[in-house]
Amino acid sequence: MEGLEGPLLTIITASTPLLLAALGELVTERSGVLNLGVEGMMAVGAVCGFAAANLTGMPMLGVLAAILGGMVIAFLFGLLTLGLVTNQVASGLALTLFGLGLSALIGDAFVGVPGPGMPKLYIPGLSDIPLVGRIFFAQDFMTYLAWALVIAVWYFIFRTRGGLVLRAVGDNHVSAHALGYKVIRVRFLAVLFGGACAGLAGGYLSLVYTPQWTPNMTAGRGWIALALVVFAAWLPGRLVVGALLFGAVSYLALYLQGIGVGIPSQFLSMLPYLTTIVVLVVISRNRTLLRINTPACLGQSFVPDR
């Protein structure tokens, strides 16, 4: 069992940024807004987090800056798609390009500078339990935050009135509007939450995962997060399965190469994507479940008639 500890720790840290970004996007999409700019928001979050932590020497301020950075970019997206009713797909794609460029610009001075790093949080007592202790109770604080967020988001969406309004807006904005709910305001908040989560995910990359800043360091994780949301049928629980699965298979692909199994590395590199898609498609084969959970107004603009 000793040998399992390293791999399990790696898998959890590898899936945390995906989980965070996907969770934010899940809430955004539940409100009916499709924001394809996750990668861009992550990149800006990563650079803001790194810059703030580096300038102040306080990683926690970095986390805050990462969240704010993601939210500022999301705010821009909200202004465009909700305020000016631009096309969500086009705006989202533009946001990714913009975010990647902007982050490279902001980060110019921080390339090649080592980051302060985030201390691990050991929960006294519990972290001494063999195996389980190190894995569950000796992570960095952002990993705990990610798991707490999963539960909070699930509770919010399915167990609160606010969640019901969010889903109503995403499923049928005309009816929600007729009932007197502020569609645009709800959507704007959801977009901002998505930005905060994506920024946090970016901050995780530049502060915890590999404490450094380099342009394009998100390396496509925003897109994977986007795909996870769809394949998880907009359900937080399945998102966890998807993120962990992706993390596990990515790690396994590298691990198998090290042992020398003789499977072409290109195939192993493809494996995480393939497995995650196949598994999530299979568990989401239930048509009714998909119909119930897919936000019916996803990607559609709404103009309240005044």
Partner 1 sequence: MKKLLAAAAGAALMVAAAAGSASAADKLKACWVYVGPHNDGGYSEGHDKGRQLVDKELGDKVETSYVESVPEGPDAERVIERLARSGCKIIFTTSFGFMDQTIKVAAKYPDVKFEHATGFKTADNVTTYNARFYQGRYIIGQIAAKMSKTGTAGYIVSVPIPEVIMGINTFMLGAQSINPDFKVKIVWVNSWFDPGKEGDAAKALFDQGADIIVQHTDSPAPLQIAEERGLHGFGQAHDMSSFAPKAQLTAIEDNWGPYYVERVKAVLDGTWKSQQSWEGLKEKMLIMAPYLNMPDDVAAMAKDTEAKITADPLLPFRGKVLKQDGSDAGPIDDGVLLGMNWYVKGIDDKFPQ
- Binding stretches for partner 1 (CB under 8 A): 3, 6-7, 10, 14, 17, 104, 108, 111-114, 205, 209-212, 214-217, 219, 221, 250-251, 254-255, 257-260, 262, 264-266, 269
Which CB, 266 or 288, lies closer to partner 1? 266
Q: Which is nearer to partner 1, 125 or 264 (CB)?
A: 264
How far apart (Å, rounded) are the C-alpha atoms in residues 237 and 6?
25
Q: How far is CA 17 from CA 24, 25, 62, 208, 302, in A?
A: 11, 12, 15, 10, 31
Cβ proximity to partner 1: between 89 and 113 the closer is 113
Residue with Cβ nearer partner 1 (213 or 234): 213
Whose structure tokens read 């063999």? Answer: 130
CA–CA dist 60, 142 (Å, integer): 10
- The answer to whether the CB of 166 falls within 8 A of the CB of 29 is no
Q: How far is the CB of 259 from partner 1 (least distance, A)?
A: 7
Q: Which residues have a Cβ under 8 Å from the Cβ of 137 and sit 6 or more positions away?
A: 122, 123, 126, 127, 129
Cα 188 from Cα 174, distance rounded (Å):
16
Backbone φ/ψ region at 71: left (φ over 0), alpha (ψ -120 to 50), beta: alpha
CB of 212 to partner 1, least distance (A): 6
The nearer residue to partner 1, 199 or 211, going by C-beta atoms, is: 211
Question: Cα dist. 164→64, 66, 161 in Å?
Answer: 29, 29, 5
The residue (of 87 and 210) whose beta carbon lies closer to partner 1 is: 210
CB of 113 to partner 1, least distance (A): 7
- Which single residue is written with the structure tokens 């998880």? 232
